[in-house]
């Protein structure tokens, strides 16, 4: 059986980047005949000594992505002392960035993974907001970071999506006099819920424009002032029963309202 060449991949984080680069290069040299051995989360000089000694025995190469200066320098030193070829996969591009942007790197391991995790948290929050939008499934209330309640056209969906991009899992439900709210609404902690109200005049304008955009008659019950007053009165009763903070969204942009919601709920949670 033909003996494989060995490449040690070393990182003070996961080591995925160095391994990916090493595999890409290996394909240019009969990749199947090269054994790539990953060493993740290298944190001290003892780890480096052990890897360098293993590389000496295997007459191997070390490809690494160590960004902590003291560990990088020690690996370079030990590899040179033992005659082992060691390549910093990131250094050429880091140097170009440093020169072009006139900035110094953070020298902090695991930043790529942290960025990836942050991205996936945002995607999960957006998917959550879509799944539990408009009261589709009250079971989501228990998992939600924030539950928004209010009558139609109080920006519940835009707020849910905006807050989702801030990594909050948000569910929302419309309050309609003819439809009893789900029992789950009355079991969630008040610190996780926000009620949205709006002035009757503003809501009338918004609903009238909504009907016009849909090609429907502005005389519809949906934009009737008496109906609007009844809905708002009903919604406030529900909000008081829930015991949640009530926020007026009249004449506020989504970003402004979201900021108020986060500030109010932060105070609720600190009490």
Give the span between the Cα atoms of 27 and 245, in whole angstroms. 60
Instruction: Burial-class residue 180 by CB neighbours within 10 Å (0-12, 13-18, 19+).
Output: exposed
Q: One fold for both 5-109 and 117-270? A: yes
C-alpha–C-alpha distance, residues 53 and 30, integer Å? 26
- pTM confidence score: 0.62
Does the pLDDT of residue 53 top 90, yes or no?
yes
CATH architecture of the domain with range 5-109 = 3-Layer(aba) Sandwich (3.40)
- Residue 2: CB atoms within 10 A of its CB come to 5
Tens digits of residue pLDDT in 86-101: 999 988 877 888 888 7
From 174, 177, 164, 189, select the one nearest 244 (Cα to Cα).
Answer: 189
Based on its alpha-carbon atoms, the radius of gyration of the chain, rounded to whole angstroms, reads 29
- Confidence label for 108 from pLDDT (cuts 50, 70 and 90): low
End-to-end CA distance of the chain: 70
C-alpha triplet 223, 225, 227: angle, nearest 5°: 80
- Compute the distance between CA of residue 158 and CA of residue 236 in angstroms, rounded to an integer: 21
For residue 264, what pLDDT band results from cuts at 50, 70 and 90?
A: very high
Cβ atoms within 10 Å, residue 46: 9
Q: Residue ranges per domain, the chain?
A: 5-109, 117-270
Tens-place pLDDT, residues 161-172:
999 999 999 999
Classify each residue of 144-163 as buried b or exposed e, where b means 16 or more C-beta atoms within 10 Å of its C-beta.
bbbbbbbbbbbbbbebbbbb
Q: Where are the beta strands (DSSP E) in the chain?
A: 5-11, 34-39, 61-65, 85-88, 146-150, 170-174, 193-197, 246-248
Q: Which CATH architecture has domain 117-270?
A: 3-Layer(aba) Sandwich (3.40)
Instruction: Report, as an integer, the average pLDDT of 41-68.
Output: 92
């Amino acid at each position: 059986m033909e003996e494989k060449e060995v490449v040690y991949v070393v990182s003070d984080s996961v080591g995925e980047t160095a391994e990916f680069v090493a595999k890409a290069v290996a394909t240019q040299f009969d990749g199947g005949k090269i054994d790539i051995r990953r060493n993740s989360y290298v944190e001290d000089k003892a780890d480096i000594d052990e890897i360098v000694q293993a590389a000496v025995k295997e007459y191997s190469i070390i490809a690494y992505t160590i960004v902590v200066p003291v560990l990088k320098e020690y690996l370079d030193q030990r590899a040179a002392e033992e005659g082992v070829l060691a390549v910093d996969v990131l250094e050429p591009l880091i140097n170009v960035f440093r020169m072009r942007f006139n900035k110094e790197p953070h020298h902090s391991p695991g930043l790529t993974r942290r960025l990836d995790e942050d991205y996936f948290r945002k995607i999960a929050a957006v998917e959550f907001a879509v799944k539990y939008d408009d009261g589709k499934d009250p079971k989501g209330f228990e998992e939600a970071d924030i539950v928004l309640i209010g009558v139609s056209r109080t920006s519940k969906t835009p707020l849910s999506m905006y807050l989702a991009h801030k990594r909050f899992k948000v569910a929302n439900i419309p309050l309609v006099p003819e439809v009893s709210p789900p029992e789950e609404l009355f079991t969630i902690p008040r610190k996780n819920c926000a009620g949205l109200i709006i002035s009757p005049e503003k809501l009338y304008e918004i609903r009238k424009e909504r009907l016009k955009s849909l090609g429907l008659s502005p005389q519809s019950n949906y934009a009737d002032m008496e109906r609007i007053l009844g809905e708002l009165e009903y919604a406030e009763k529900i909000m008081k029963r829930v015991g949640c903070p009530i926020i007026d969204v009249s004449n506020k942009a989504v970003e402004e309202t979201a900021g108020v919601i986060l500030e109010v709920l932060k105070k609720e949670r600190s009490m």
